[in-house]
Structure 1
Amino acid sequence: MQRLVDHALAVTKESVKAVTYESVNNVVRIINGVSALLLALLPGKANMLEGIQGWELRPTFRGPRLPRWMENGVSSFNHFIHELSVDSDTSPDYSSEEEDSDRYEYPPSPASHCSRASEAYNRHQMDWFQRMQSLKEQIIHRATDRRRGVVEDVHLAIEICIEAVFDFFHKAAHLLLSPSEAFVAIVSLFSSHGSGIEQDHDTFKDAAISTATRGGDGPAPTERSTNLHQSLNTDARTCQDVITELGYPYEAIHVITSDGYIILLERIPRRDSRKAVFLQHGVLDSSMGWVSNGVVGSPAFAAYDQGYDVFLGNFRGLVSREHVNKNISSREYWRYSINEHGTEDVPAMIEKIHEVKCAELKLSKPESEEEIDDYQPYKLCAISHSLGGAAMIMYVVTQKIQEKPHRLSRLILLSPAGFHDDSNIVFSTVEFMLVLVAPILSLFVPAFYIPTRFFRMLVNKLARDLHNLPAVGGLVQTLMGYVVGGDSSNWVGVLGLPHYNMNDMPGVSFRVALHLAQIKRTRRFRMFDYGASTNIEVYGSPEPLDLAEFYGIIDIPVDLVAGQKDKVIRPTMVRRHYKLMKGAGVNVSYNEFEYAHLDFTFSHREELLSYVMSRLLLVDPNHKPQRVARSKKKEQIAAASRD
């Protein structure tokens, strides 16, 4: 009889599972089907999805596929940069030439170098292929283990509930059909009740001692935290996890700005290197963007492999609200604009880099205070994207105005912000609404971010579902493309990156959004407009400082890069930077690639990586620049101000 009941319960359980699973799958299919229908009706969907890299629209509940560039083995880029460093005389010339008023001559593509590298790579393909197969298995294992979408969570929850319910009925039926065993179980329960209390007390005491012992060493909290992440199955890896898992060294440096914000400066250290590079992300991004494409597709790793000491900057603006004042309110924390990014965050990080490098290379301070302290036996270049580019320009200009050293030897700006009047109707509408309702909205909305861990976890999991459901992911990608004017960046793929996780997530201050709206409305790259009275106190004039008017005092080479498919910051806006800098006498170059806005950081682009490395290699770490007297520098700044 017991065997018959067990068999009946097992069959019933599997039947309930099958019906429930099929019901959930039918709901998912309906959602995916409706999304496919809407996607078919929307115009321009082909253009919206064109250019997506590393994202396969295919229905699967397995881990996400590897990017296309890793399917056939390792990239040829590492071999290319090795050839480029050895044979510097044959490196392509990307410097800009004289142009007509509305025409620009772009430098040649480095495709010829990539072809030579590909030929050399073929000779070692088998060795690399074996290594990449191992890496591929590790990546699939990590992706499958650490990420689970909402649909997969529903399947798991259903299975757990069904198992629990039928386990209860199985035990109840077993006791009813075996009275003797039930009587023995009840008697033993009551007889051991008194001694069980003492045993439980001793067990609890031993566990407490064991926990206290482990707590002193530190691994216990980490273990509990790890178990929580594993149970929720979200990808909560940090930039440190990504770097160290790939076998690179890592160092975290906490920097405190002059206004009390604690920001994280991350590093892939080469302590004895005399050439360093500082990478600064854009809006709603973090240092993760520079390492998210792995060993052969990330600018940070490419620079490190070429002998650079790599520093990864992070702007203020995380929901964790790290500040020296632990009790700072949300309203006070988010009370900053792009001004603070360029005049507080970047200076604090670069000065920390200078302090660290001076200590490691044992540099001495200058003997004369009458000379600008911009001489240093190491070279620091900066690579910035989007809002990070605008902040870097602001940093260099304001440092020169204040007669302070900026410590940089070269700027490489990838689709830099600063001019935004050439944009689509959605951005224009948002700009108009922000400027119109700013006095009221700022009282209730200090920033745009997801405040609770639950909803951040939900966003992270939904991003996984968008990968698994092709039509839903395509619909979201298309709608996002409409919002940004047709930009074909992999918006869905970016949502699934680890820095959009349940523990922390970048946000946008209301003042940063308002500052961008002010720039767009005035058609000028200006600092934040506080109002006439406050502007006089801050800038010494009723109008904010116009940064473009001071381009003439930029004393380092600047490389501007635009994306032909970029609809967020269009090439016309990057060319305006170029035209103004060129007219002011800045040593500036301009180049365009057939990229969308996020392709500069989140997509594997060998052509872009080779270009960036070729610009970095133009800086000679052994070259010693002449020191410029303060009096002469004052005359130069005064002349720029008069112009």
Structure 2
Amino acid sequence: MHNGVSSFNQFVHELSVDSDTSSSDYSSGEESDGALPASPSSQSSRLSWASASANPESHWTEWVTFLLWWLIFPLRILVWIPQYFLRLFYKRSSTRAPTSPRRNQRCSPRPRVSKTMSSKDHDVPNRATDRRRGVIEDLHLAIEICIEAIFDFFHRATHMILSPSEAFAKMSSWFSSRSNSRKESHDDVLDDEPVQTATLGDTDPSLTERPTRLYSSMNTDTRTCQDVITELGYPYEAIRVVTSDGYVLLLERIPRRDARKAVYLQHGILDSSMGWVSNGVVGSPAFAAYDQGYDVFLGNFRGLVSRDHVNKNISSKEYWRYSINEHGTEDIPAMIEKIHEIKTSELKLSQPNIDEEINQEEPYKLCAICHSLGGAAILMYVITRKIKEKPHRLSRLILLSPAGFHEDSNLGFTIVEYIFLFVSPVLAHIVPAFYIPTRFFRMLLNKLARDFHNYPALGGLVQTLMSYVVGGDSSNWVGVLGTPHYNMNDMPAVSFGVAKHLAQIKHTGKFKMFDYGSRTANMEVYGSPEPLDLGESYEFIDVPVDLVAGKKDKVIRPSMVRKHYKVMRDAGVDVSFNEFEYAHLDFTFSHREELLTYVMSRLLLVEVTPSEQRQSSQKGMKLKKKKKEGISSVSS
């Protein structure tokens, strides 16, 4: 003890002084040298300690503090150890990080990522902007605040007991201040209604203060795909798309308005457009395509917790009543038609003399890169559009581990398949979709994802459990949970109809459209007692297809992607097949240079040079002229 203050009390007091002066100044355990002034709370605490030590009754204060110190001895030991290591962590981080507050740091528009990074490493771009705290960090903070409050209470109580005159003076001043406040409030009622003091044109503070305080207090990561794109210095545009059945979709864009080549990227199950930009400038397919001169469009399927629909009063049961059919026949057509509308109008404005007959269809080239469920949906889209004799407007398909065939899978998926098929008549009325329903539990998952990154042992346990659930797939599941689109406000979900559709495909061993369960229901939808077998309709695919499989993929095994290849090849489709040493999520959430190189090389195969454009245009004009003259056959 020194001057009536125990060593542990002095330690807690120094910790509070450090936290008051600067959140980044943890270079030493001593007091500040005066570069940063102490806060009023820290100054008042120092004065209170000085007054206690200078008091004539400090001898009794010393004995009371000594007894309290030993009464909480076990708690002191348990708390001191994590605080000690926490201080060491702050000291080390302060030597590496700049001393300015994090909110004032601005990242460079195009940060470089080291190419020596391990393939297993996963990092959301601009982690400095991720201000969320994990659950364990919150517990540390709560323990510190609790201990400080306990010691402050006992200190003040002891001081009041040993200084009754000062206690009486404070109580009297407290009662007098309460009476004065009541009088002032009574006078305010008699006065005219006060005028708000906010500057004219400013936003109402009451409207902006509450959500800001809410998010900052919970410390969750609520960044969107727009935030990630703009933070990295790229342009961004959000496009609202409404499907024919009333679902409101978000089509996001990294615009290059005068480009004649565009790419449409479609995510898979339990994912969103965030997957295509989550690896930053170097490792993300969306940024790689934009840097190659493409106009980039990022599609988002229906199925978010926010449930955006033209009918604002739609019930949960009605909203989630869809299968993969709606992804391929409603969502993708609406987004691609919107892309066609945007590109044709913009190219007419930027190039007034553009020939509408270029390539006999469109003044631009549109390729699609799809992952997992997105691959199955885009195949369904192309086939159904050709059957309906409608243009699909695509020039090439690049499918990364596409869904569609699933008979070769692990035991876990087989068990889930039979459970779905057996209990689906009852479960469909109880569980319309699989998602986290409340904001609190979504916030908890968002914060736990931070703990998975901060504590390798905990993250390794979660990674192992997730791998076993999906049959041993070695994807970075912990890294995926840490992406911002799994936040407290919104989150991708899976409807019961989509899960049941996948179970039907696996059970039958055929890539078919959704079976409504009876011949009558199927007749009403398809005009036939059986749903359309898409695998037997691959002859309708009239564009080149590039299939990519992952040798380590346990979700959609390479044998199933190879089955797509064999069926397409037998149907006469211009198809290619390639394999990489990847797991299922490595196609989107991991930095893979060889994959990006391969995808970009496939995209460049459909690039049209100006000379080819002129030849194609002249050929189209000649063909139209000969048709008018009644010539039925034309030599090339």
TM bracket (short chain) = 0.7 to 0.9
SS, match of residue 310 in structure 2: coil
Q: 1:138 to 1:416 in 2, by over 3 A?
A: closer
Q: Which residue of 2 aligns with 1:233?
A: 219
Q: Which residue of 2 aligns with 1:506?
A: 492
The question of whether the paired residues in 1 share the 8 Å contact of 2:124 and 2:279 is answered with no
Superposition deviation, residue 496 in structure 1: 1.3
Q: In the TM superposition, what are the counterparts of 1:122-141 in structure 2 within 5 Å?
A: 139=126, 141=128
Superposition deviation, residue 530 in structure 1: 0.5
Q: Which residue of 1 aligns with 2:136?
A: 151
Q: Which residue of 1 aligns with 2:591?
A: 604
Q: In the TM superposition, what are the counterparts of 1:82-97 in structure 2 within 5 Å?
A: none
Superposition deviation, residue 198 in structure 1: 6.2
- Cα deviation, 1:296-338, whole Å, max 9, x if unaligned, reads 1100111111111111111111111111111111111110000
Instruction: Give unmatched runs, 5+ long, in structure 1.
Output: 26-57, 66-71, 78-135, 633-643
The question of 1:570 aligning with 2:557 is answered yes
Q: 1:383 to 1:170 in 2, by over 3 A?
A: same
Q: Which residue of 2 aligns with 1:451?
A: 437
Q: Which residue of 2 aligns with 1:196?
A: 181
Name the CA distance, whole Å, in 2 between partners of 1:137 and 1:299: 14
Superposition deviation, residue 61 in structure 1: 12
Find 2:331's aligned residue among 312, 332, 345.
345
Find 1:168's aligned residue among 153, 160, 180.
153
Instruction: Give unmatched runs, 5+ long, in structure 2.
Output: 1-50, 84-88, 97-110, 117-122, 628-636
Name the CA distance, whole Å, in 1 between partners of 2:212 and 2:401: 38
Name the CA distance, whole Å, in 2 between partners of 1:530 and 1:457: 36
Superposition deviation, residue 285 in structure 1: 0.4
Q: Which residue of 1 aligns with 2:418?
A: 432
Name the CA distance, whole Å, in 2 between partners of 1:207 and 1:608: 64
Q: Which residue of 1 aligns with 2:164?
A: 179
- Cα deviation, 1:264-315, whole Å, max 9, x if unaligned, reads 1111111121111111000000011001101111001111111111111111
The question of whether the paired residues in 2 share the 8 Å contact of 1:373 and 1:405 is answered with no
The question of whether the paired residues in 2 share the 8 Å contact of 1:383 and 1:412 is answered with yes
Q: Which residue of 1 aligns with 2:521?
A: 534
Superposition deviation, residue 385 in structure 1: 0.3
The question of 1:307 aligning with 2:308 is answered no
Name the CA distance, whole Å, in 2 between partners of 1:267 and 1:341: 19
Amino acid at match of 1:196: S
Q: 1:263 to 1:488 in 2, by over 3 A?
A: same
Question: Higher Cα Rg: structure 1 or 2?
Answer: 2
Amino acid at match of 1:618: L
Find 1:491's aligned residue among 477, 487, 503.
477
Q: Which residue of 1 aligns with 2:406?
A: 420
The question of 1:292 aligning with 2:350 is answered no
SS, match of residue 217 in structure 1: coil
SS, match of residue 550 in structure 1: helix
Q: Which residue of 2 aligns with 1:406?
A: 392
- Cα deviation, 1:59-113, whole Å, max 9, x if unaligned, reads x9989x9xxxxxx964569xxxxxxxxxxxxxxxxxxxxxxxxxxxxxxxxxxxx
Name the CA distance, whole Å, in 2 between partners of 1:209 and 1:186: 34
SS, match of residue 260 in structure 1: coil
Superposition deviation, residue 255 in structure 1: 1.0
The question of whether the paired residues in 1 share the 8 Å contact of 2:263 and 2:296 is answered with yes
Name the CA distance, whole Å, in 1 between partners of 2:603 and 2:413: 34
SS, match of residue 366 in structure 2: strand
Query: How many residues end up aligned between the 2 structures?
Result: 528
Q: Which residue of 1 aligns with 2:79?
A: 21
The question of 1:583 aligning with 2:570 is answered yes
SS, match of residue 362 in structure 1: helix
- Cα deviation, 1:214-250, whole Å, max 9, x if unaligned, reads 7x63786455323322221111111111111111111
Q: Which residue of 2 aligns with 1:2?
A: 52
Amino acid at match of 2:77: V
Q: Which residue of 2 aligns with 1:321?
A: 307
Q: 1:459 to 1:554 in 2, by over 3 A?
A: same
Superposition deviation, residue 553 in structure 1: 1.6
Name the CA distance, whole Å, in 2 between partners of 1:269 and 1:226: 30
- RMSD, matched Cα: 3.7
Name the CA distance, whole Å, in 1 between partners of 2:332 and 2:124: 39
Superposition deviation, residue 604 in structure 1: 0.3
SS, match of residue 168 in structure 2: helix
The question of whether the paired residues in 2 share the 8 Å contact of 1:61 and 1:468 is answered with no
Superposition deviation, residue 24 in structure 1: 8.0
Name the CA distance, whole Å, in 1 between partners of 2:63 and 2:92: 30
Superposition deviation, residue 359 in structure 1: 2.1
Superposition deviation, residue 379 in structure 1: 1.2
Identical columns (%): 68
- Cα deviation, 1:6-45, whole Å, max 9, x if unaligned, reads 89769949967643436989xxxxxxxxxxxxxxxxxxxx
Q: 1:335 to 1:22 in 2, by over 3 A?
A: farther
Q: 1:211 to 1:332 in 2, by over 3 A?
A: farther
The question of whether the paired residues in 2 share the 8 Å contact of 1:75 and 1:296 is answered with no
The question of whether the paired residues in 1 share the 8 Å contact of 2:433 and 2:493 is answered with yes
SS, match of residue 254 in structure 1: strand
- Cα deviation, 1:352-380, whole Å, max 9, x if unaligned, reads 11111122122799xxx9x9997221111
Superposition deviation, residue 583 in structure 1: 1.4
The question of whether the paired residues in 1 share the 8 Å contact of 2:124 and 2:482 is answered with no
Q: Which residue of 2 aligns with 1:118?
A: none
